[in-house]
Amino acid sequence: MDTPSLSASVVGVWPYALLPLLSIIIYAFYNAWLHPLRHYPGPLLWRSFRIPYVVSTHKGQLHKQLKEFHTIYGPIVRIAPDELSYADGRAWKDIYTNRTGHQPFPRNQTWFKKQTPDEPHSILGFDEASHARYRRAFANAFSDKHLRDLAPIVEGYVDLLLSRLQASITDSVDLDHLIECIAFDIGSDLSFGQSFDSLRSGKVHPWVEVANGFGKGLALVASINRYPPIERLLRYIIPKKIMQKMQNHAMMSSAMAQKRLAMNTDRPDFVTPTKKYVEAKGGIEGKEWDINLMIFVFASSETIASALTAIFRELVQHPGTLHRLTYELRSTFQSEADLTIASTAHLSYLNAVINEGLRLDPPVVNAPPRVVPPGGDTVCGRYVPAGTYVAYNQFAANRQKYNFHLPNTFLPERFLLGKSSRHNDKDDMASFQPFSIGRHQCIGMKLAYAEMRIIVAKVLWGFDMQLANQQDRFDWGEQATYIFWDKRPLKIVQNRYLQILNSSNRDRDYSRTETQLPEDYKNDRPSQHQLESAGKPSSQPLSQYKPDAKKKKKKKKKKKKKKKKKKKKKKKKDLGSE
């Protein structure tokens, strides 16, 4: 064996082996200290590579990481070599609206990349011309007049939900499951012209089972699309089941959409007014119906299901808030029939509870980023180079003390506009935009609010509820998320309100005034110490606030002092007697 020649060959290979490592080091060094975004703060590893962002997305933990980063680094954080995350309310207008003298920031194509070349653009896609065309076509379906026509359909499903809850009296029930059922039943009825009938059957429809993997699939595909040269290789990381679910979802949606279009009916839904517009002016054709109706079912169902589940969980974990809302509902309406979409629209505390739920636990956690247009532009008064990805991340931003007072606390009073709140002046309400703003603001915002109000109102007017297991308490943000939340079950037990009123054991008086609310409401409020230390992270994310705790400590100290004095007096007496 020729040893010298072997060592020479090994030495000759070393430069080639070190070349990839050297390239990585140079790449990281450039991104961290020479890149145009080098002056923006952020964790070193994230500033140097995109990989931490992708890994965090795959684990469903990106929202937690961004919240932590914004707490450490402030309202603007560099979370990848070419991406900035914002928690400054000014970013909403700078990024998402058409500013005079500025180019619009287009949507990031990696989030809305076509899976096949012949796949049409959707109302959520990056193509601005297609988005504007669809928006005009569907506008009448979401007008105030048409929403009034949709009200009886929505209210009918809410009554069906109440009957399901009534059938489960004395037994624990998974409210998350029932909310998901009603949300998708309404969404399918209004989009496909037929209900999934999940509330009646008690089973999740196959379409919904497929849709449950849609958010995760979209998040994973979008994160992988950030690496175009090795996209095909990285795509193998995504479980085949998820990719198959997305394909099945599209096929099933197409069949249902075409079936609805073939119906000769004027029933109130999303299709009827849109068809009339299209027949007169055009705007939607062929497969464009399929993909947009699929999006309407999913967007109008999953987001509402997440929002409502979060709101109900916050309420059962904060009994004082639950009692105050119940008081507002039961003192306002004398019978269940009085509760309608119209009659519940202006209830102040109901709206405050819903808005606080959307703030603390936003259904869309990490918004798809926009792209800074050619020539670069300013965001929050600072220059950002062209091609940079920018986004306002609601979960991270809404839980920062520089945006909201007691940011991690469920505190609906902040939305009472000064009626009984001492927090409004410390809350940056301009940063609260749960449905986004600008040309891409959610077209179904008014319908979403109407659904949430009537569901919360009717359920709480008709039932007293609490957690089935009081140990089942956690911060909503602890869950994993892939654009949408990976929700845990919400097991509750409930009693029919009318049965309680008619029973001899009536332990609650709903005729009392707001100032006479019970102790559980008072104990649910923040103490003065907590008001002064707003925004500081708590070791117990769901603590019960007891403002009388300091008084108890003082009483204990006084008792100790009295005991000491008594002991001293006894000693003096004993010494005197001696």
Q: Which residues are annotated as a binding site for heme?
A: 442
**Residue type for position 556:** K
Answer yes or no: are the C-beta atoms of 62 and 367 closer than 8 Å. Answer: no
C-alpha 437, offset from chain centre: 16
CA–CA dist 573, 370 (Å, integer): 83
How far is the CA of 328 from the CAs of 294, 324, 347, 514, in angstroms?
37, 6, 8, 9
Please count the CA atoms within 13 angstroms of the CA of 56 that sit on its side-chain side: 18
**CA nearest neighbour of 194 among 184, 204, 203, 179:** 184
How far is the CA of 480 from the CAs of 62, 299, 485, 529, 542, in angstroms?
9, 19, 6, 31, 18
**Binding site members:** 442
Strands (E) across 94-148 are located at: none
How far is the CA of 314 from the CAs of 48, 301, 302, in angstroms?
38, 20, 18
CA–CA dist 321, 327 (Å, integer): 10
**CA nearest neighbour of 309 among 471, 499, 485:** 485
Note the maximum CA span of the chain: 112
Cβ neighbours of 441 (radius 10 Å): 13
The torsion defined by the Cα of 153, 155, 157 and 158, in degrees rounded to 10, comes to 170
How far is the CA of 380 from the CAs of 75, 91, 289, 301, 384, in angstroms?
10, 6, 38, 34, 10
CA–CA dist 452, 307 (Å, integer): 8
